[in-house]
Every structure is written in C-alpha cells, then in structure tokens.
Structure 1
Amino acid sequence: MNMQRLLPGIIAMAAVVVASNILVQYLVGQWLTWGAFTYPFAFLVTDVMNRVYGAATARKVVLAGFVTGVICSLIGSQIQGEFGPLVTLRVAIGSGTAFLVAQLVDVFVFDRLRKGVWWRAPFVSTLVGSTLDTAIFFSIAFAAAFSWIEPSNDVSWANEVLPLLGVGPESPLWVSLAVADWMVKLSLALVALVPFRLIIGWLRPQAV
C-alpha cells in the first residue's frame, strides 16, 4: 500500500479522535457532550478507506486511530480537572476497547456487504459498530458491574436511578447517557451517507 494513499486516512482519523477527546469535556444539554457529534465521523473515515482501498487498509487506519486515542488518554490522565483526572482508568479502558472492537467490526461488516447497493455497507456497518461502541464504552466506564476495574474511582453519580432520558422507565443515569449517545450516532450514520457518496465519487477513479 502506497503510504501516500494511507496518510490522508490516518490524518483524518487522528483529527476525529483528538477533536472528540477534547470536545467530550464540554456538555451539550443534559445528556450529551460535543464529542458525541464528532466521534461518529470516525466510522465515515473507516468506511471511505474500506470502500476505496479495501479492508486491510481500513484496519491500518483503525490501528492508527487506536494509538492516537491511547496517547490522548495518557495525556488526559495527567490533567487534573474539578473532580480528578480528566481521563480515569475505566474511561481509558472503555474508550480504547470500544474504539478497537467497534471499528474492526465495522470493517468486517462493510467488507461482507460491499457488493450490495452503495449505501447498505456504510449504513449497516456503522449502525452495528456504533451500537457496540456505545454499549462497550458506557458499560466499562460507568456501570457498577465493572467497578472492580478501578475501585478507587467513585462513579456512584452515574448509577443514580432516574427516568430514562428524563421521561422513560427508571434506569441508571449512565444508561440515559448511552442511549442519547447512540441516538446521535444513528442520526449521523444517516447524515454521513451524503459525504460518503461525495468522497467516494471523488476518490474512486484514483483507486487501484
């Protein structure tokens, strides 16, 4: 693989990961952060690389994104916020695990559906990957069942029982946060079909 072809994907993925790690510190309303609106575009980057250059190249871009995320977590763990380090061990493990699993599954599903109509592979793979990403991250980072990972990290606030998204059945706060995050990912999976189509139309003639 020509590094010149791989580099734009790596840069784009790194940009999304870094931006999301910064913007996750800023709230939007009661259930979301700004990072929720940037991170889903990691799937767009992966899917574009997969469509144009194949699954092997897409996996290399995913690995680059994972390494970038680990570096961001290491930096965040050294920065003290109002309630302790910006990135706790549980958040770091949850983030890294969710990213790697979700993106690699996205690559796998996309590759299996690549011969169908143009929108099916990016939409279905992103939907599956996003669902896994949300479930893995919020469970590891905040669910009481995973408190053994970092006993000193008090996440009792995330397990406070409240109506789901303020209106539904009672559930831990982290479940509302996860559902809101997943809904944004689902919406952006639909929106991202437009730039996916445009970018592929531009890059496809250059692909081998």
Structure 2
Amino acid sequence: MDLRFFEIYRNPEYLMLLVQGAALSAALTLAGGIAGFLLAAVLAAVRHYRIRFLAPAAAAYVEFIRNTPLIVQMFFVAFGLPLLLGYQWPFWAHALLALSLNFSAYFAEILRSGLAALHSGQAEAASALGLSKRLSFFKVLFPQAVASMFPSLNSQFIFLFLTTGIISEIGVTDLTWAGVYIDSRSFRSFEVFFTLTVIYVLMSFGFKGLLNLLHNRLFKWKVVR
C-alpha cells in the first residue's frame, strides 16, 4: 500500500481545517456537557424528590431521549423545530442544543442512581442541622452523588463526545466534516481517517485527564477505598 500522509500534513488548508474542526468539536462538547449537566441536576432532583406532575414528565423526557438516536434528535432540532416554531439558528447552535438535551438525559439517570444509593441518614442528618430541603440537596446530597458517580459521568461524557461526529450531517464544520472534506479532495481515505482516529483518541485522553483533574480539585474530601 502506498501511504501518503504527507499529502495531508504538507497542505496548510487541510491542517487548518483539522485544527478548526477539532477546536469546534471540543468547544461544542464542553458547552453541551456543561449545559447538559446543569439540566440533568434539575431532572435528577425532580425525580429524587418525586415532585408531583414534574417527576413523571422528567422520567418520560429521560426515557424518550435515551431511546431515540442522536442523529434523529439532531435532525429534529435542526430542521423540525425551526419549521414548527419559526426561527433559524446557525447549524452549530442547533448542534449545541441537541447535544445538551442528549447529554442531560444520560447524566440525569447517572445522578439519579447516585442519589438513590446514598444512605437515608444523610438527608436526616441535614434536616437535623436545620437545613432546608433545597440546601440539603445542593450542600449535602448532590455533591456526594456527583463524587460517587464521577467515573460513570466521566465515561459517559467521553462516549458522547465520540458520537459528536454526526453533527457534520447537519452542516457543522467539525472534525469529522473536515476529514470528509479532505478525503473528497485528496482521495486518500485511509490516511485521512487514520489521522482522524488518532486525533479523536488524543482528544478523548485529553478530556479524561481534564475531568480527572477536576475530580481531584473538587472532591478532595472524598476518601477512596
């Protein structure tokens, strides 16, 4: 096989597309992950306290998102909602919304499991100290749930990041889009997609290291046995 990686590495246009695509993929993943986590915290709290009317709606939302493909959600957000509601956003904004909704459902289920695993004495102790239910949740229960489920949240985040390549299907110029574009011009499919594989692997390790650092910073009080 005649491998010509230099046709990619020596072309400034191709290198710039890869750098810009990787940066956009990382930015949308981080933004979607943060927005999804915040929404997931609300969903988990609603389901944990079984708030009337809201808890069934939250459960239905989580199950709906978790049981439909991300690509379908992406197309619905990018092409269905604008027709239904009469607005138009840039494709990257549609992708961010779809990713945030997708992340939130998976994170919410992980957080709900973490809350359910906590000993009931935690809530009772917080109540005995005079903390309101809201303060008890955010100061006592939620941090412990996040700390205990952080490995699962970490793994889920990495997995969802690796699925973000499909946002190129709605015209977002992410890393996968850059690879497809370069392949269509250079006709060096093996070299292009091998390069993309290496970049995705490196970015995954980068995210994993960043999240582990965040864990060590935020949860110094957690004793690992």
| Superposed pair shares fold, TM > 0.5 | no
Instruction: Please identify which structure carries the higher helix content.
Output: 2
**TM-score, with structure 1 as normaliser:** 0.42
State the structure with more CA Rg: 2
The TM-score normalised by the length of structure 2 is 0.40
